Amino acid sequence: MPDTFTTRTVHIGTGDRETVTDLTGECEDFLREAAAGRDGLLNIFVPHATAGIAVLETGAGSDDDLIAALHELLPADDRWQHRHGSRGHGRDHVVPALVAPHATLPVIGGRLELGTWQSVCLVDTNRDNPERQVRLSFLG
């Protein structure tokens, strides 16, 4: 009987700017091996206090719109109680309350069930931490 739970950590370089990084390819690569054609659930989790996981359209401006909306909601200024790192870094610690650090998505026949324009993305506004880990876990 095949394993029912498989997990892997992927390392993502986000650099020194705010980013929305498409993880869909990494998720699909993982599922080819882990799901092996089975139905189940994929959980994507980022174990960082300043990043989140979002499912959204990329490449048509929505990723840039998300960063702009986060700037509007959470300005990078000195209003934040949490103060270390670059100016306004305290807001980065509030981002996971708006963009959750996880998502759980259906897998059918070993493939991620996303809508036509949906992608799985890492949202990282923390310019002080250029390396991220993302845990992919398949249950099926």
The per-residue pLDDT for range 26-36, each reduced to its tens digit, is 999 999 999 99
Q: What percent of the chain has pLDDT over 70?
A: 98
Distance, in Å, from the CA atom of 12 to the CA atom of 23, rounded to the nearest integer, reads: 9
* pLDDT value of residue 3: 66
3-state secondary structure (DSSP) of residue 72: helix
Domain boundaries defined on the chain: 5-139
One-letter amino acid identity for 47? P
Q: How confident is the model at residue 2 (pLDDT cuts 50, 70, 90)?
A: low
Is pLDDT above 60 for 1? no
- Mean per-residue pLDDT for 107-115? 97
Q: Give the residue-averaged pLDDT of 20-44.
A: 97
pTM of the model: 0.93
CATH of 5-139, one of 2.60.40.1180, 3.40.50.11540, 2.102.10.10, 2.60.120.460: 2.60.120.460
